[in-house]
Amino acid sequence: MASSDTPKPHKSPKIKNGEISTTQSKIKKKNRDMAKEEGEKKKSKKPKLSNGHSKQPQEKGAEGSGEDAKTNVFPMNRIRTMIKGEDPDMRVSQEAVLAINNAVEKFLEQFTQDAHAFCVQDRKKCLSYKHVANVVSKKRRYDFLSDFVPEKVKAEDALRERSAATNGVFQKM
């Protein structure tokens, strides 16, 4: 296939003994070279995370030390925006945002590990809302999430509990 930027010959190619004219062979060679370059670019392209950083550690010299620099999982600008959303007058240093980023990453790792443990207990291969809700309801350290991740309850069970609670209130009076 010829690309749109390659010139097209005005005349039909002159074929002598099954040979194609030199201009067409040059065009085909150019197209092959461009396809090779695109293939090489795709192979050498590093996978990117949502924050724009690659999964592989950065090269040495980026920080001046010999250790590999760790990329952050969450974008720093979004964390700063969330903090500013709570109190627009609050000034937050870059180190504080970095500490919050690391703390959130560690918290989510622990939370998902605990949810995975419930998943293993149920002998399931994939994590579902039920497992996350079980972690929140059963483990005391995640009580602060109970408003955001409630356990699923059938409507008839909820109505039964509600009516039992209202009956208990009237009987006490």
The residue written with tokens 């964390």 in the block is 79
Residues 6+ apart with CB under 8 A from 69: 57, 58, 62, 63
61, 42 contact by CB (below 8 A): no
- Read off the pLDDT of residues 84-119 as tens digits, 9 standing for 90 and up: 898 888 888 999 999 999 999 999 999 999 999 989
The residue written with tokens 């870059």 in the block is 94
- Read off the pLDDT of residues 39-96 as tens digits, 9 standing for 90 and up: 666 555 555 555 555 554 444 444 444 444 567 788 889 999 998 898 888 888 999 9
CA atoms of 72 and 54, how far apart (whole Å): 10
CA atoms of 1 and 87, how far apart (whole Å): 58
83, 103 contact by CB (below 8 A): no
CA atoms of 134 and 114, how far apart (whole Å): 10
CA atoms of 173 and 157, how far apart (whole Å): 25
CA atoms of 76 and 100, how far apart (whole Å): 9
117, 131 contact by CB (below 8 A): no
Cα dihedral sign for 25, 31, 34, 39? negative
12, 24 contact by CB (below 8 A): no
Share of the chain above pLDDT 90, in %: 21
Residue 11 has pLDDT above 50, yes or no: yes
